[in-house]
Amino acid sequence: MAEPAEQKQNGVASPDREPILEVRDLVKHFPLTQGIVIKRQIGSVRAVDGVSFKVYPGETLGIVGESGCGKSTVAKLLMNLERPTSGDIFYKGEDITRLSGRALKAVRRNIQMVFQDPYTSLNPRMTVGDIIGEPFDIHPEVAPKGERRKKVQDLLDVVGLNPEYINRYPHQFSGGQRQRIGIARGLALNPEVIICDEPVSALDVSVQAQVINLMDKLQDEFDLSYVFIAHDLSVVRHISDRVGVMYLGRMAELGSDAEIYDHPTHPYTQALLSAVPQPDPEGREARERILLTGDVPSPANPPSGCRFRTRCWKAQDKCAEEVPLLAIPEKFRDGTFTAHPSACHFAEERDVVHAG
């Protein structure tokens, strides 16, 4: 990545460095209402329910989980597109959770977003030049009017597109090219952090690889920090330094890419990894597939205690009574490589044979 190798140990940023982005006990509940004329609240959807993590300069934190686990809601909260019910988000030590006006505008210059669908995130009535140059209308100090065309063409070149395409419209590009335009727009204001909300999920596999390699290159070139949200475990491992696994609004496990993928300790993480397609026939035979029973509970009525307990083969009475904290399990606190936080009362290391 963009920082010297000695600043990382096994892919994890050194703890003596200050995080560029920190999330503490983030909560977002959406009200459930009933009635047409007179609406009354009958409950709430607990989309995000106490998520905490840190992102260090120059690193990529991957966030994975099933659809509906709260990943995209976290992305919107980080961008202040949604206001949290409670909890805090710190950017360089400053609480940005409740900023507005000029203060929020200043922070958003440094925290940008690449959206999931390149087909809907670009205005079809605007040219590529207008799309990429629109941030300069909001922050004119970044590029005075006389310099904007040149800067937009430079951004097109940086993301691997012909600068002469500046007057074309989004419908004249393929999906991968459109996502490159979205990345160029995200780079326009020279941000330090980019939130990537499933940026390759709508693309073909071969195009996914091209976009991921481009993002790796840009991270090195511009010293960017990424929060990379996806449901594809293979993609996340390729780009991430650390990985957080979410389940039903909470963080189940958090660690370096090697710790999560090679030595998972949470049953949910182990089940996810066992389902990753394995191209090697010998690997398929050696791997034990973990089949989960039941459906994912509703976020409007989650289980008590551990939210994964209704589908977990290790569940005991304690799991229904106590909420497991995201912490390093006691038996792993001896400084071993696998000592990473896991929100499970009965966390146990399990080597999973998976696709490399």
Pair of tokens at residue 14: 């050194």
**Predicted confidence band at 294 (pLDDT cuts at 50, 70, 90)?**
confident
Alpha helices in 255-312 (DSSP H): 257-262, 267-274, 281-286
Q: Which tens digits make up the pLDDT trace of 309-329? A: 999 999 999 999 999 999 988
Round to whole Å and give the CA distance between 348 and 351: 10
Compute the C-alpha angle 238/244/246, nearest 5°.
120
**Predicted confidence band at 244 (pLDDT cuts at 50, 70, 90)?**
very high
Share of the chain above pLDDT 90, in %: 63
Q: Write down the pTM of the prediction.
A: 0.88
- Is a pLDDT exceeding 70 seen at residue 2? no
Listed in sequence order, the residues at least 6 apart from 325 whose beta carbon sits closer than 8 Å to its beta carbon are: 343
Burial of 239 (0-12, 13-18, 19+ CB in 10 A): buried
Averaged pLDDT, 40-47 = 88
Residue 5: the pLDDT is 32
Averaged pLDDT, 10-21 = 66
- Other C-beta atoms closer than 10 Å to the C-beta of 67 total 9
Compute the C-alpha angle 163/211/269, nearest 5°.
160
Higher pLDDT, 287 or 170: 170
Residue 12: the pLDDT is 45
**Predicted confidence band at 339 (pLDDT cuts at 50, 70, 90)?**
confident
The sheet carrying 242-247 orders its strands as: 111-114, 193-197, 225-229, 60-64, 242-247, 250-256
- Is a pLDDT exceeding 70 seen at residue 183? yes
Q: Which tens digits make up the pLDDT trace of 83-119? A: 999 999 999 999 999 888 889 999 999 999 999 888 8
Residue 216: the pLDDT is 94
State the chain's mean pLDDT as an integer: 87
Residue 217: the pLDDT is 94
Higher pLDDT, 74 or 35: 74
Lowest-pLDDT range of 58-67, 178-187, 200-209, 238-247: 200-209
Averaged pLDDT, 175-184 = 93
Residue 275: the pLDDT is 81
Higher pLDDT, 117 or 173: 173
Higher pLDDT, 288 or 314: 314
Listed in sequence order, the residues at least 6 apart from 3 whose beta carbon sits closer than 8 Å to its beta carbon are: 57, 58, 59, 223
Share of the chain above pLDDT 70, in %: 89
- Is a pLDDT exceeding 70 seen at residue 285? no
Lowest-pLDDT range of 16-25, 184-193, 201-210: 201-210
Averaged pLDDT, 133-160 = 91
Averaged pLDDT, 167-182 = 94
Higher pLDDT, 297 or 17: 297
Amino acid at 222: F
Alpha helices in 68-204 (DSSP H): 71-78, 101-110, 128-138, 148-158, 175-187
